[in-house]
Structure 1
Amino acid sequence: MSAVVRRWLPNQHGAWAMLAVPFLAGVLIGGPAWIDLPLFAAWLAAYIAAFHAQQWLRLRRLSRNPRAAGRHVRPGLVFGAVTAVLGVPLAVAEPWLLLAAAAMAPFLAVNAWHARTNRERDLLNGIAAVVPACGMLLVTLRLGGGTLADGLAPATACLLYFAGTVPYVKTMIRERDSLAHRRGSVAYHALALIAATLLSPWLAVPFALYLARAAVLPGHRLTPPVVGAVELGCSLVLLGFLVGLYGG
């Protein structure tokens, strides 16, 4: 069973918080709606389908073993079908969701291009994945009765945080010995702290925490599970602040 799970579910563990926290923030700020549950299922299915499609693109071009790419076909088709089955009724109930999906398409294309060229670790690719995930806050907030104006500040705060996780995680794992990456990450988090404070002085609290972890933790050789646990905690802190500040 565990082997099946490993083959079918993405191994990008940090992505789950990015997928869930903005979505849940929009639900809690705008108010829950019945459509949130099938939309969340469709959202996760779409992510998994896109992951397998990107891996198929990458391995089809790079691997000499045709089975390497082929093992992503069935999961991609299954989760793509799940997305369609869930997505059609959602689009019928709320046709504007099609516009939201279209707005995400260019970012998906950027991810697909990076996968095909085996450049998935590029900074731009990470940012391109973050933007639509944070945009889901606007979607779920509107479904709950909120407006675009209501969601701009919390969605921007989400974007500031999750965009910062891209360079930060590099300093903890793949670029742990790069002083240039550490300096770049700290500089970004310092600017993010300023920007978040302009959104709300209360947001200085979590973003000061994020700056401190970007400055202090790199170099301590933490294992990936520990890095992931720290980021999960940081994500939940952000969620709490956003709901407290912008929730009804």
Structure 2
Amino acid sequence: MSTVRRWIPNQHGAWAMLAVPYLAGVLTGSPAWLQLPLFLAWLLGYCAVFHTEQFVRLRRASRNPRAAARHTRPALVLGAATAALGLPLLVAEPWLGVAAALTAPFLAVNLLYARRNRERALVNGLVAVVPACGTLLVAHRAGGGTVAEALAPALACLLYFAGTVPYVKTMIRERRSAAYRRGSVAYHAAALVAAALLNPWLAVPFAVCLARAAVLPGRGIGVPVVGAVEVGCSLLLLGLLVAVYG
């Protein structure tokens, strides 16, 4: 069990970002068999990239060579598993190659930040959000839908998950920064307007997000509660997306 825990990324907040856009793409379209192995490949690929980034980061940042080495096997095994699952999908659906190519520049930026030991940088977090939300387009297309149909819910996901990056910082690493709090609230106010323009019903989850960004920072709330609130907000967004676009 301890070995399994070492192989599973410890960035717990990332799982909602991995799952919600993809599920929204499935549930707002027509579920198809392709979406299941594609989702598994997506999760395996994320795990492989996580361990690769940790290897790159620790190889420079740590004086202990074992710190980086412990990520070598997971990166190789998970990368091979991703390829073994992904290549047949690519043969069956060549358009997935375009989606993978569009993801590559964002992964390159994340690797660059990892190499500089700046994974927690605001820009790095925002960059990671883009391909995660792009999976909504992929999942929707895999079910026979079109990119045009999925564009609005994908933008809604992008607005939401981009906002979680500064908000979570105001709750944990930047909890004493007034500038971060002001920036987070300003972003969420703008996101509320943008979401309402996409669809008036989307104002509901984004109003909740604005309220939590304005009220919760500075109240000494623990990390588990922060995580629980984000799960609730993510599920609220998913429910509204399915109701509006499904």
Same fold (TM > 0.5) = yes
For structure 2, the 5+ residue unaligned runs are none
For structure 1, the 5+ residue unaligned runs are none
Offset of residue 91 of structure 1: 0.2
Offset of residue 19 of structure 1: 0.3
> Could you say which residue in structure 2 is the equivalent of 1:202?
201
1:105 aligned to 2:88? no
> Could you say which residue in structure 2 is the equivalent of 1:229?
228
Structure 1 distance, partners of 2:144, 2:242, is 15
> Could you say which residue in structure 1 is the equivalent of 2:65?
66
Describe the SS at the equivalent of 2:94.
coil
Structure 2 distance, partners of 1:85, 1:111, is 24
Offset of residue 222 of structure 1: 1.2
1:114 aligned to 2:130? no
8 A contact 1:30–1:143 mirrored in 2? no
> Could you say which residue in structure 2 is the equivalent of 1:93?
92
> Could you say which residue in structure 1 is the equivalent of 2:80?
81
What is the number of equivalent residue pairs in this alignment? 246
> Could you say which residue in structure 2 is the equivalent of 1:145?
144
> Could you say which residue in structure 2 is the equivalent of 1:20?
19
TM-score normalised by length of structure 1:
0.98
Structure 1 distance, partners of 2:223, 2:4, is 19
Offset of residue 112 of structure 1: 0.2
> Could you say which residue in structure 1 is the equivalent of 2:158?
159
Describe the SS at the equivalent of 1:106.
helix
8 A contact 1:48–1:79 mirrored in 2? yes
User: How big is each residue's C-alpha offset from its partner over 1:174-219, in whole Å with a ceiling of 9 and x where there is no partner?
Assistant: 0111111000000000000010010011111110000000000001
Structure 2 distance, partners of 1:183, 1:142, is 38
8 A contact 1:186–1:215 mirrored in 2? yes
Structure 2 distance, partners of 1:15, 1:5, is 18
1:172 aligned to 2:175? no
> Could you say which residue in structure 2 is the equivalent of 1:29?
28
Structure 1 distance, partners of 2:173, 2:4, is 25
Instruction: State the AA in 1 paired with 2:187.
Output: Y
Describe the SS at the equivalent of 1:30.
coil
1:187 aligned to 2:178? no
Percent pairwise identity: 74
8 A contact 1:135–1:155 mirrored in 2? yes
Describe the SS at the equivalent of 2:28.
helix
User: How big is each residue's C-alpha offset from its partner over 1:59-94, in whole Å with a ceiling of 9 and x where there is no partner?
Assistant: 001111110000000011111011000001100110
TM-score normalised by length of structure 2:
0.99
Structure 2 distance, partners of 1:9, 1:70, is 16
Instruction: State the AA in 1 paired with 2:93.
Output: E
8 A contact 1:23–1:140 mirrored in 2? yes
Offset of residue 6 of structure 1: 2.6
Structure 2 distance, partners of 1:189, 1:42, is 32
Moved over 4 A (4+): none
8 A contact 1:54–1:116 mirrored in 2? yes
8 A contact 2:34–2:143 mirrored in 1? no
Offset of residue 4 of structure 1: 1.4
